[in-house]
Each structure stands twice: as C-alpha cells, then as structure tokens.
C-alpha cells in the first residue's frame, strides 16, 4: 500500500528522536487508520525493536518479544535464556540503550497490559528510576481507543509520557491521492466509502469497478468483513458504545426497483447494505 500524508505526525515523532532525551510517546487510534505504517516509516534506518503484541498469556508476549529483541541485536545469553518477565524485558531495553540510541515500539500495547495488569506500574517505576539519562525512545501504540483514554493517558503513565497523539483518518484530499487517475466526483465517492481509512483503499472492489450499476457489495466498496464489524468497533473504539451501536442499527427497508431505489452514500442501490460500513458516534 502507498504511504501518503502524515507529515505532521512524522515530524512529531522525529522531533522527539532528534532531541536526544528519553521519550515515552503514545500513539493510538482506531483499527486500520495507519498506525503501524506510520511507525514503520518512522523506524526506517533507526536501531529499533518492533514488537506487536497479540491476545494471549504473558509468556506468549515475552516469547515474541524475545524474538523481536534478537532481530534487532544478536545476544547469545538471551537466546539461551529467553525473557521470563517484564522487569527483565525493561532492563534489557535499558542495557541496550546504554550502548546507543534505541527505539522500542510496543504495538497493540493493550494486549500486553491486559495479560499482565502489573505492566503499567512496572513501566512507571522503570521509567522514573532507570531511564532518565538514556537515549531511549519508547512508543506505546494501540487500537483500543477507550483503553488508551482510560488506562494509559490518565493511568500510571500520566505525567511521565512526553507526548500523545490520536491518529485520525485521512482527509478528502489525502484519500484522493490513492486514486490519481480518478475524477473529482469519484474522489468524493471514494472518500465517502472509505471514510479516510487507508486500509480500505486497497480493496479490489474500490479500485476495479465504477460506481453506478455494479453489485451492492462493490457499490459500497467495502468488503463484507468490514460491514460486519460494527459491534466490534463500538466495543473497542467508542467512548460510549451504547450510543454508537444505535447508529449502526439496520437501515430501514425501502421500496425496491430501478424507479424507486434508495440512494445510500451517493449510489442508487437495488439492495441496500444491512449496516453502515463504519460506526458513526453520536457522542
């Protein structure tokens, strides 16, 4: 996928790296908005550990983190005796940073924190006691907006992080750059369908077909798996899931047929989709 825009976000990340001081940055936002792609672009050319947590036990997390550390720098001792707890992992980061600037990205941080509820307090103590003079840049990244707002921004890390950014969807002009040969009218339609979410611009149904007269799924331009995700998105991303779910209620039945087909997001559809393809918060 093409990486576009995000100049302001990249500048924010680079400013901390150039400072030479310890940085604890927080980057969060809904799924598919481009957080990992942004961090990959920022990490390019830097000495880095990139760890993406998955749902599982702390032992699962530490096994994957050991592999991520070894991918950054070979360590025969660590290879023989993998990480067994987060205190050891944090000490390893500090030891590596003592040898030179180090970027540590903990992506999908919420999974690691949910598997080990003590992680936030360990991170707080480690950052206060051991990192003050080290060239260490840590990014906590995740896609559960509610979790970050309730447990990270106002949790134990509050007052210690050096910056936080909620990554938003792309704007209309930025979304249009994914479709350089399309007309302005089709750019508006593409933005209405994708909502500025970079991942959705890669669907073949968006790129392959023109809008009127195509099948309902193609007209919406969003894969069925995306249409069926509203309750998941509400539970993980919204400040008020109950009010958001109401906005994802089934669309009302409308008369069928070419003469009286309803218009949904600018397309005349003979079979309207069951759900709006993304949740629209009412809060």
pLDDT of 28: 95
Query: Is the Cβ–Cβ distance between 50 and 68 less than 8 Å?
Result: yes
Please name the residues in contact with 109: beta carbons below 8 A apart, sequence gap of 6 or more. Answer: 53, 140, 141, 142, 152
pLDDT of 20: 86
Pick the CATH number of 7-166 from 3.40.50.300, 3.30.9.100, 3.10.20.30, 1.10.645.10: 3.40.50.300
Query: Is the Cβ–Cβ distance between 231 and 248 less than 8 Å?
Result: yes
258 secondary structure, DSSP code = G
Q: Helices 7-19 and 35-43: crossing angle, nearest 10°?
A: 40
Q: How far is CA 55 from CA 14, 116, 230, in A?
A: 30, 11, 20
54 secondary structure, DSSP code = -
Backbone phi and psi for residue 177, each to the nearest 5 degrees, phi listed first: -65, -15
**Domain range summary for the chain, segments of one domain joined by +:** 7-166, 172-268
Q: How far is CA 153 from CA 89, 119, 243, 261, in A?
A: 22, 15, 23, 47
pLDDT averaged over 10-residue windows placed end to end, the chain, 283 residues: 81 94 94 92 96 94 97 94 96 95 96 94 92 94 92 80 92 88 88 87 57 43 49 55 49 46 42 44 39
| Alpha-carbon span 135 to 100, nearest angstrom | 7
- CA-angle at 52, arms to 48 and 56, nearest 5°: 145
Q: Which DSSP string corresponds to 131-159?
A: -TTS-EEEEEEES-HHHIIIIITTSTTTT
Query: Is the Cβ–Cβ distance between 122 and 10 less than 8 Å?
Result: no
Q: Write out the H or E segment, with its range, that includes residue 110.
A: helix 109-115
Can you say whether residue 83 is alpha, beta or left, with left for phi > 0 and alpha for psi between -120 and 50 degrees? beta
pLDDT of 283: 39
| Alpha-carbon span 275 to 155, nearest angstrom | 35
């Amino acid at each position: 996928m093409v990486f576009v825009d995000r100049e302001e976000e990249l500048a924010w990340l680079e400013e901390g790296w150039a400072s030479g001081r310890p940085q604890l940055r927080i980057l969060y936002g809904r799924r598919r908005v481009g957080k990992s792609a942004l961090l990959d672009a920022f990490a390019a050319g830097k000495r880095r550990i990139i760890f993406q947590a998955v749902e599982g036990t702390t032992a699962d997390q530490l096994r994957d983190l050991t592999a991520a550390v070894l991918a950054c720098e070979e360590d025969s001792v660590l290879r023989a005796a993998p990480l067994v707890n987060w205190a050891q992992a944090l000490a390893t980061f500090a030891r590596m940073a003592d040898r030179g600037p180090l970027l540590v990205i903990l992506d999908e941080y919420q999974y690691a924190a949910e598997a080990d509820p003590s992680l936030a307090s360990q991170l707080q103590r480690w950052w206060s006691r051991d990192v003050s003079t080290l060239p260490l840049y840590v990014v906590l990244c995740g896609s559960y907006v509610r979790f970050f707002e309730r447990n990270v921004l106002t949790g134990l890390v509050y007052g210690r992080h050096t910056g936080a950014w909620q990554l938003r969807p792309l704007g209309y002009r930025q979304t249009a750059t994914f479709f350089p040969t399309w007309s302005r009218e089709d750019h508006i339609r593409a933005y209405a369908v994708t909502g500025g979410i970079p991942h959705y611009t890669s669907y073949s149904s968006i790129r392959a077909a023109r809008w009127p007269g195509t099948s309902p799924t193609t007209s919406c331009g969003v894969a069925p798996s995306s249409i069926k995700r509203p309750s998941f998105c509400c539970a993980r991303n919204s400040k008020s899931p109950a009010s958001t779910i109401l906005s994802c209620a089934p669309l009302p039945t409308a008369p069928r047929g070419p003469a009286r087909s309803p218009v949904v997001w600018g397309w005349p559809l003979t079979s309207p989709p069951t759900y709006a393809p993304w949740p629209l918060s009412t809060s």
